[in-house]
Structure 1
Amino acid sequence: MTPVVATPSPSRQRRRILQATIIVLVVLLGNLPYVGSWASDQYDQWQSHKPDYMRANGRWDIVADSGSRSIHAAMLRTGKVLLMAGSGNDKKNFDAKRFETVLWDPVANTFQKIYTPWDVFCAGHAFLPNGELLIAGGTKAYEVLAQDSPDGKKKEYKGLKDAYLFDPILERFVRTGFLQHARWYPTLVTLANGAVVAVSGLNENGDIDPGNTESYSAASASWIEHPDLRKEFPTYPSLLLAADGRLFFSGANAGYGPASLAARQSGLWNLTNNNFQTVPGLPLPEVNETAGTVMLAPAQDQKVMFIGGGGVGDTQVATDRTAIVDLSRPAPAWVRGPDLSSPKRYPGAVVLPDDTVLVSGGSRRYRAKDTLTAEIYNPVTNTFRQVADPHVGRDYHSEYLLLPDGRVAVFGSNPLSDDNTFDTRVEVYSPPYLYAGTRPVVQGAPTAVTRGTTISFRTSQQVGKVRLIRPGAYTHVTDTEQRSVALPITAQSNGTVTVSVPANPNVLPGDWYMLFVDNGANVPSVATWVQVAQ
């Protein structure tokens, strides 16, 4: 016998549909913030991958997780990136003597652990002319807060005298001569003669260095004291080698130091007679801590930009101001530049092959992870324009490097939080020029060049400009290496380009550089590595 199936009445069907609809609406309304956020994220993802959007704004991609609390990052001549953490701002690692360094290969997107024999955390570094990275100082002891100290007094971090070279070919650290003065939070900067000057930092007792100056000699693998050169700086002072051989202190710094304006005064320091020529006019000089400094391209123009910054110490003050100074003038002075899109401490700044500057990351407050913005500065128009927003906020202990393929890699971030959060994701920005057409190809470029000569190479397209960009070595908003040097075109015919190499070693210090050419429409080649002979 065939069973009889009861058919619901139309009114009962309507009630069931209504009940189901109400349940769905209740669930949606209860989760509306999450649904809205998900939908917004999906739209942003779709929008950011549209070709027209990328041509105008570029694109950010999280490409890896290094697993390392990187404090320092350096672009090596092998195309790999050295990420140094040491104890990584983690006292448990320090007490256990767990010191870490990893080597990232951006092409293979792989990470290799490097044996690290000392706590490189908060050291200083600079490249030698042969491409080795000199690292000096580090952490002898962590700070102890007053409430944790037996005598009720705060103990500061203490510095080390250790110094090492990182060999990019052997991919290992090699011990070299000890510093004359222990340093934690120092700045190292390479001079035209290949010597490396070290200044500032906290010593082995946790006191700010009173102005001791020393330099590293690669020939003797030793540090030489200069008692006639005494200059007090705050820690991690931003120093750049100027065209006349003096060191320019922008006034930007990170961390510790004398509160006096005299020690924080911007100026040009003469290393032959210890004279310090002040550079006046910096707007809001009381908020120059955790600011960025970058030499604009080309380096021959000797223009330096000061970016953002905040109040001394852990104050919550931040500023959106920028300022620009022309060091080629007899009496240089700062003039206010265009404002950033928002106030920023710890801004990352990278000179790009098209002479623009990417400014990204940063924090509106002291070690607060709250700024997801990026903008590009155009030195020709003296304007900023906002571009694609990064996915990861970056503040204290973050690093920014130009890669040989024209992208920018960003690492680290250590905002203040109860669990001492440290972001270990690697994010890469692809600028708009990577979506603007076929890139030129360079062939036959020499691997070594001599200043004051000409060189020739072949290209697949007509060339608009040629740049030698020094690889960065970044930590604590400080990068003394970064500079883009113009190679003027003297001849161009049938795919062969001849350029002149600047003669001034203060403009073009000895080192390995990334050679970029563009096609006249600001589309750059992939870089070719070239060594400028010492």
Structure 2
Amino acid sequence: MGYRPSKQFKKTLLGAGAAVLLVALNAPAVLSFAEGRYHSYKIGQSSYRIQYGSWGLIGLPEEYRINAMHAALLHTGKVLLIAGSGNNQQNFDKGTFSTILWDPKDDTFKKIPTPEDFFCSGHSQLPDGTLLVAGGTARYEVLDGKVTRAGGGMRVKNESPDQAVKLPKGTVFRSPSGVEYVSKFDVTVPKATRQFEVTYGRGGQMMPWKTKVVAAEARVFVEAAEEGAGGLTTQAAQYEVVGLTGKDARNVYGLAERLSADKQDFQGIKSAYEFDPKAEKYVPVDPMRDARWYPTLVGLADGRVLAVSGLNDVGDVVPGDNEYYDPRTKKWAKGPFHYFPTYPALFLTQGGKLLYTGSNAGYGPKDKGREPGLWDLKTNRFHKLAGLADPDQLETSSSVLLPPAQDQKVMVLGGGGVGESRLATARTAVVDLKEDNPVFRSTARLPQGVRYLSSVLLPDDSVFTTGGSADYRGRGASDIHKAQFYYPRTDTFVSAASPTVGRNYHSEALLLPDGRVATFGSDPLFADKDNTKLGKFEHRLEVYTPPYLYRDAALRPALGEGPEEIVLGGRATFGAVRAERIQRARLMRPSAVTHTTDVEQRSVELGLKKTAGSVTVTVPADPTLVPPGWYMLFVTDADGTPSVAKWVRVREAPKAAPRESRDGWMS
């Protein structure tokens, strides 16, 4: 008779099997928990932090959680975080616009009244330390299939030389066939101009003057009053302005060539403001000549700002009309004509030309305005630069003027294909503008293909890169939780500690005066790998502490008392603790960043002399190298350990008064 196990043995065996099965089923979770505990232990060790640095989340009260689209460091040391409507149609419809001021010294926050929708505006640091904010959102996009009323741009003409005409939002334009269209915004049409004409008789004698009236023109977006196909038209026509009578009815009319039900893009505004860091408020200035959404604002050597590109008031890419802002007059003037896709990366180079790296943030055709080049604003000549690998993957790439600025080398990092392309490149490339015939040359590759990479200059002459995603807007859970340092002198990437928070579209990073790096935002399309759940805007604020801040604090350089202002070409002396250890001095311009575009940041090498208790720094005299404005002054030791920054304002040297010579002439 064979062996037959007892009931008790069977129970014991089944219990043990169930336990084994339970352990097997939960093994991944147990292993993940153990790995997480070990990772937390490892990154908390001082030896790890000295090599890789560390990340930390900032406690952000719920009332201050906004969709941070823009980040700018002010000379007060505080960070301005601008959301506007925050890519939220409901906020836009309610007129709820947001700005938060964060003080990194004590992690306090303050709400700032926001007068207009600065979502997707442009910004630039002005010489006096105010922040110019221009453009933003006039209307949200309506996607294909959702457009129920035909719409498009209406050119409004005024043939009266006697007066301008203001037509309020809601003005009705009637076609010859009786179809009516309604304006979505106020529009002011200037008065017409009179031009004198000279004519000559048969004998060549000059005849009496004649005048010719040239109609003035403005543009406004209109929609059909009725839903449906009745408003569609592809025929050019003249439109009556309903409600005008007499001469006004004859002098003022609309012209439109095509009113369709195609996708309607975002539309920009003309508004411009200066943010006052001391009063902590927005101050209105004259509006731009063109409405702009997604524009780049780049500061120039003379203190003016050039506004470039953007979507206009009918949702088209501005065709090449650029304009200057003068902070002395608070007014705008016509600039040189050149077409760029939206948010182009433009850097002021030594000598005054602007370098366009090809980096941009999206709107515009694939085959127009994408090639990098040097742009001479005085002659309006654009010299294209060759050599860039993966030139079809410059959208959402990152660009930086490598440190120190005197080297005149500019780097492009990563990027993706145009629009919602899945392409992403690990390519980096550098152009040396001191060469007789500068071209881009490939440099060390990133660990993987990446879009929306944040790149931040550090006081030790390295570039800190972090975040981004491998696909469009983090699609497919493709956020890259990695960071690394790039060292220009050795052309190498070195790993840094990994961030907790993923960052893709609508994310920012910037250098703080204490040497840390702050990261904000992220606007993923989806929240899961299968792209089935809609994403949510990332509100967490995470700060990176580099390895140089984990070295011996007793040996860290420190700057003491010194002047708040230095003239170009001038010197300034500061008290210094452990002055004998100081090896380098840098002026670092504070960031104003959005959509991976930060054309403000630059690191300028200073002349340096040391005494027992002080350092004297010398600022270059060239304003194309050091545009006037506020800078962070860092000093570093031989290991690259930086001091906490001192804020200094760089001014133009005062012009010498004319001197009277012995013979009475002024010289």
1:99 to 97, 100, 109: 97
Tell me the equivalent position of 2:276.
167
CA distance in 2, matches of 1:182, 1:209: 8
Tell me the equivalent position of 1:3.
none
1:479 to 593, 598, 602: 598
2:584 alignment partner AA: K
Tell me the equivalent position of 1:431.
546
CA distance in 1, matches of 2:22, 2:382: 68
2:470 alignment partner AA: R
Describe the SS at the equivalent of 1:147. Answer: coil
CA distance in 2, matches of 1:88, 1:23: 52
CA distance in 2, matches of 1:23, 1:67: 47
> Percent same amino acid among aligned pairs?
47
Tell me the equivalent position of 1:446.
563
The answer to whether 1:29 aligns with 2:147 is: no
CA distance in 1, matches of 2:56, 2:12: 43
How do residues 31-46 of structure 1 correspond to structure 2 at under 5 angstroms? 31-46=26-41
Describe the SS at the equivalent of 2:424. Answer: coil
CA distance in 1, matches of 2:12, 2:96: 62
CA distance in 1, matches of 2:383, 2:592: 27
The answer to whether 1:398 aligns with 2:507 is: yes
CA distance in 1, matches of 2:549, 2:469: 28
Tell me the equivalent position of 2:421.
315
Tell me the equivalent position of 1:6.
none
1:436 alignment partner AA: R
Alpha-carbon deviation of 1:17?
Answer: 9.2
* The structure with more radius of gyration: 2
Describe the SS at the equivalent of 1:33. Answer: helix
The answer to whether 1:355 aligns with 2:350 is: no
The answer to whether 1:255 aligns with 2:362 is: yes
The answer to whether 1:154 aligns with 2:263 is: yes
Alpha-carbon deviation of 1:43?
Answer: 1.1
1:452 alignment partner AA: G
Alpha-carbon deviation of 1:12?
Answer: 12
Q: Deviations over 1:366-413 (max 9, x none)?
A: 111421111100111111111111111100000001000100000000
Alpha-carbon deviation of 1:15?
Answer: 10
1:416 alignment partner AA: L
Alpha-carbon deviation of 1:13?
Answer: 12
Describe the SS at the equivalent of 2:379. Answer: coil
Tell me the equivalent position of 1:274.
380
Describe the SS at the equivalent of 1:39. Answer: helix
Q: Deviations over 1:336-360 (max 9, x none)?
A: 0100011100100000000000011
Structure 2: 5+ residue stretches without partners: 1-5, 150-260, 527-532, 653-667
Tell me the equivalent position of 2:337.
230
Q: Is the 8 A contact 1:437 1:523 kept in 2?
A: no
Instruction: Report the CA distance shift for 1:502/1:91 in structure 2 as closer, same or farther (over 3 A).
Output: same
The answer to whether 1:178 aligns with 2:287 is: yes
2:455 alignment partner AA: A
1:54 alignment partner AA: R
Q: Which has the higher contact order (CA 8 A, sep 6+)?
A: 1
CA distance in 1, matches of 2:12, 2:648: 72
Q: Is the 8 A contact 1:64 1:427 kept in 2?
A: no
CA distance in 2, matches of 1:236, 1:55: 37
Q: Pairwise CA RMSD of aligned residues?
A: 1.8
Tell me the equivalent position of 2:588.
469
Tell me the equivalent position of 2:173.
none
CA distance in 1, matches of 2:140, 2:148: 15
Per mean C-alpha deviation after superposition, the further-off stretch among 328-337 and 467-476 is 328-337
Q: If the length of structure 2 is used for normalisation, what is the TM-score?
A: 0.76
Tell me the equivalent position of 1:378.
487
Q: Is the 8 A contact 2:577 2:614 kept in 1?
A: no
Instruction: Report the CA distance shift for 1:323/1:16 in structure 2 as closer, same or farther (over 3 A).
Output: same
Instruction: Report the CA distance shift for 1:495/1:178 in structure 2 as closer, same or farther (over 3 A).
Output: same
Describe the SS at the equivalent of 1:518. Answer: strand
CA distance in 2, matches of 1:24, 1:129: 71
CA distance in 2, matches of 1:375, 1:165: 35
CA distance in 2, matches of 1:252, 1:62: 30
Q: Is the 8 A contact 1:286 1:311 kept in 2?
A: yes
CA distance in 2, matches of 1:99, 1:299: 37
The answer to whether 1:330 aligns with 2:443 is: no
2:633 to 511, 515, 530: 515
2:302 to 186, 193, 196: 193
Q: If the length of structure 1 is used for normalisation, what is the TM-score?
A: 0.94
CA distance in 2, matches of 1:28, 1:79: 53
Alpha-carbon deviation of 1:183?
Answer: 0.2
2:351 to 238, 244, 254: 244
Alpha-carbon deviation of 1:105?
Answer: 1.1
Alpha-carbon deviation of 1:153?
Answer: 2.0
Describe the SS at the equivalent of 1:344. Answer: coil
Q: Is the 8 A contact 2:308 2:322 kept in 1?
A: yes
Q: Deviations over 1:63-114 (max 9, x none)?
A: 2335111000000111110000011111111111111111111121122111
Number of residue-to-residue matches in the alignment: 520
